[in-house]
Chains A and B, each alone.
Chain A
């Protein structure tokens, strides 16, 4: 189930709160774990077995790492088993078909015969949120190995951490070290619950009022056939997508953080007004912060970071961003998306080192960064290279000409669509982020958030279009 659905808002959430707060303290984690498994199993009950298996493996790997007197070899074995199992599961469900297809293409490129991709690989269903919970689960082993946390007191506690429904399927990626002590002891207070409630309401409203309408525009633009997309509509569509993905994902993070707070947990922030960035480097300090910091701490720094000379730094940046792209999806379009960002990070670092960055007004820097991000989003959103290239060509004037181009424009350039894009632009570029709006929380702000929730619920009943983009990762 998704947060912005009837079944969650009117049934699951009230029931979860009732059962959690009615349960005695010693049973709260068990209750939360069972509720989280129901939440996750709602998509497909079989997926829960996979998560359970991964949880058990990592728990016992953690024990191997932290057992008193464990040898270095045993500790390393525990770490590597955890990493290999988690990445292996991810590799099979997410990348096996892609890998086989790519291998076949490479063989053909060098004159060989095409390798038949086993049919079953094309039918493997990607478990929802697998990229999130496998990374989270791995972080347990890594944080234990590095001494950044103490092991979970029980399998139930650890299962609660892995499966915690507020952030299970779309983040933020909550590293074990940042919640370890909260699992042992946390405060449940009226103030905390009210803060969580307000944050959830704001996220819910953001999703319904801002993200969903943008998705309607983006979908029809990216589905356009040959010759239908004009430059204006193409730019409008990718701007709408940029707003959709930002508001969709940041709304989900708001709701996840808010829900976590209702159960006494404080999760890290995941977004910091990324479209206000002056550079791509800054963008990655503001966008999907939990993923970028995960990749920084567990991949970039172990690769050497920026400590091994400029050339190696650029290679490391590109490697991390390409892997980050692949994390999002098993497709070369995601690789290109990552490569664009990696390339820009390298270029900006190079330019900064040589003092080549021109002095330009801040709005121009923000605009330039936004344009680069938009072009990269085309590859992120497009289902394949054919769509991406058609779209980019159209953005720069090479599209249009079909008799139906006017119909697409009629679907897209409506007063509501244009108004909503303006509103989204104002919110993205000018408004403070949710955590800032709520940092000095008073009663009227909470009351407004509840009114926003009610209004959003009414609009949700009418919309009939409610995807959650990051579920596909």
Chain B
């Protein structure tokens, strides 16, 4: 072979001269290696010193039940959340925002201080819910399996109708539809809506679902007052109250309403609320950025006239509210406007709807999970609690309805079916732990946690669901299986101690009824795959092993 070898590749290669010298060369190589090696070394050193698992330990230890590919992706996400990325990210974004008014993947910077949620704007210009999603040969196979909203809405409406309950869908317009001028779209004479929106809502109504589209009402309102907050994704208190009033008027017009106008029992008091806005938070400029001031707004808190307290969610109420952060804003302090505490504000949509109706409502609203999570939480009510409802008012950001599969998956929006709790409410009401009971238990299962720095997450706080084999309830000595407890996974985007608990290990923690803990019921959550109809609690670790 040797002498006959005719290698056509001999002589390949570009000419070059390298004149860095040996010493210079080693110096440059050293500089290069310092850039690569020092940041992760420092990170792992601090992890080790603080008792946290290093990257190597995380890579080599996999949670029981987690697939290998899933585990590697989690390791990679953890690596990308390194402390040394935060300051450069902050500085780069600060420079881009200040110099070029350039936002990031979550926030679009418009004119005159207006900020917009980028996925919302992208949803308005993409193919939407009626046109086929642009999927091709190279598309992620998971996108091809994605199910849009129509099937889920139809199924939910049918399930409710079986139980004698109406469904009222209330899609909340997004800011760009009502205030497009902030994006430089001047001269709009009408609501700037998705090309398929009207046809889509018509299809939904043909399923027997009533759609209360607030778009045109908000377009009229904009000439009187601001409809959306400048620096936040959500509506203003004025727009929110208009929405609550519209819904209340619609419900009062139903045959089954039967209560006279002016049912009282609620009072309103004014309080100031301040927040920089979730869209500013998502720019990750840091506290001292100085580019955006807090927005001050006037909130109208609703109080029960008799007790002087915020109207509670009533599981046996005739009206159920299912939704997302548009329901929770101005009530859940985790969304801003409530100061530093955990106390619920009481100025949100559900409270104003209760005031408009003159009677309490039940609320199943979960931040970021209005598509399925909130419905699943509603379906967990006892069967007779569900059947006590006459109507479910489903308040959801219209962008969730308009998303393409790619946008939906990128923003953690999924349209699943829900499983209904077949159990009846026990005599004496739902069982509940004495507030703060201490429990000793073994962790049986734990929901897959979303990384707080993931681009899919738009909220500061998040819960995760766990399942336990209870060894002992300290107060009563009781033992039970299959107890579900929610813990904080992250608070202010920082992973909690509870997020590190491991399946198979034993822990002591305090449990509270989930409904009874403020700021918990509406918080975004990572749930276990298999639904469960036992009561779920909120937990706080007492001691870890």
Binding site for B on A (CB under 8 A): 1, 5-7, 9-11, 13-14, 17, 42-45, 66, 98, 122-123, 125-126, 147-150, 175, 177-178, 180, 190-195, 197, 201, 220, 222-228, 266, 268-269, 329-331, 333-334, 382-384, 386-387, 402-411, 414-416, 435, 438-443, 446-447, 450, 453-454, 457-459, 461-465, 472-473
Give which listed residue, B72, B92, B96, B134, contacts A222 with CB less than 8 A. B134
Give which listed residue, B20, B55, B89, B100, contacts A443 with CB less than 8 A. B20
| Given A407-B125, A407-B192, A416-B102, A439 and B14 contact (CB-CB distance below 8 Å) | yes
| Chain B residue with the shortest CB-CB distance to A229 | B125
| Given A6-B79, A149-B7, A42 and B72 contact (CB-CB distance below 8 Å) | yes
Q: Is the CB of B89 within 8 A of A408?
A: no
Min CB distance, A143 to chain B, in Å?
9
Q: Is the CB of A462 within 8 A of B192?
A: no
Q: Is the CB of B192 within 8 A of A226?
A: no
SS of A interface (majority) = helix
| Given A268-B12, A458-B91, A403 and B193 contact (CB-CB distance below 8 Å) | yes
Residues on the A chain within 8 Å of B72, using CB: 42
B87-122 to A contact mask, C-beta < 8 Å, 1/0? 011011100100011101100101000000010011
Give 6 new A-B contacts, CB below 8 A, not counting A191-B25, A226-B127, A414-B101.
Answer: A45-B69, A150-B5, A223-B404, A225-B128, A411-B118, A446-B20
Give which listed residue, B20, B36, B194, contacts A10 with CB less than 8 A. B36
| Chain A residue with the shortest CB-CB distance to B55 | A11
Give which listed residue, B25, B118, B190, contacts A403 with CB less than 8 A. B190
Residues on the B chain within 8 Å of A193, using CB: 25, 29
Q: Is the CB of A331 within 8 A of B15?
A: no
| C-alpha spacing A307/B455, complex, angstroms | 56
Q: Is the CB of A440 within 8 A of B5?
A: no
| Chain B residue with the shortest CB-CB distance to A221 | B125
B45 on the A face (CB < 8 A): no
| Given A7-B76, A10-B39, A414-B102, A462 and B20 contact (CB-CB distance below 8 Å) | no
Q: Is the CB of A461 within 8 A of B85?
A: yes
Q: Is the CB of B126 within 8 A of A225?
A: yes
Interface centre among B14, B194, B196, by most chain A C-beta atoms within 10 angstroms, is B14
| Given A6-B80, A148-B7, A226-B195, A411 and B128 contact (CB-CB distance below 8 Å) | no
The 5 A-B residue pairs with the shortest CB-CB distance, nearest first, are A383-B136, A406-B185, A331-B137, A178-B9, A458-B88
Q: Is the CB of A220 within 8 A of B125?
A: yes
Q: Is the CB of B25 within 8 A of A190?
A: yes
| C-alpha spacing A435/B15, complex, angstroms | 9
Q: Is the CB of A461 within 8 A of B88?
A: yes
| C-alpha spacing A43/B140, complex, angstroms | 14
16 contacts between A and B (CB under 8 A): A13-B36, A14-B40, A17-B33, A194-B25, A224-B125, A228-B125, A269-B14, A382-B134, A383-B134, A384-B134, A409-B185, A414-B100, A414-B101, A415-B100, A435-B14, A441-B16
Q: Is the CB of B76 within 8 A of A5?
A: yes
Q: Is the CB of A462 within 8 A of B25?
A: no
Residues on the B chain within 8 Å of A266, using CB: 12-13
Q: Is the CB of A411 within 8 A of B125?
A: yes
**Restricting to B24-48, which residues have a CB under 8 Å from any CB of A?**
24-26, 28-29, 31-33, 35-37, 39-40
| Given A459-B92, A461-B85, A462-B104, A225 and B195 contact (CB-CB distance below 8 Å) | yes
| C-alpha spacing A414/B180, complex, angstroms | 15
Min CB distance, B5 to chain A, in Å?
6
Q: Is the CB of A150 within 8 A of B2?
A: yes
**Restricting to B168-186, which residues have a CB under 8 Å from any CB of A?**
176, 180, 183-185
B254 on the A face (CB < 8 A): no
| C-alpha spacing A383/B127, complex, angstroms | 13
| Given A195-B16, A410-B184, A458-B92, A6 and B125 contact (CB-CB distance below 8 Å) | no
Q: Is the CB of B25 within 8 A of A383?
A: no
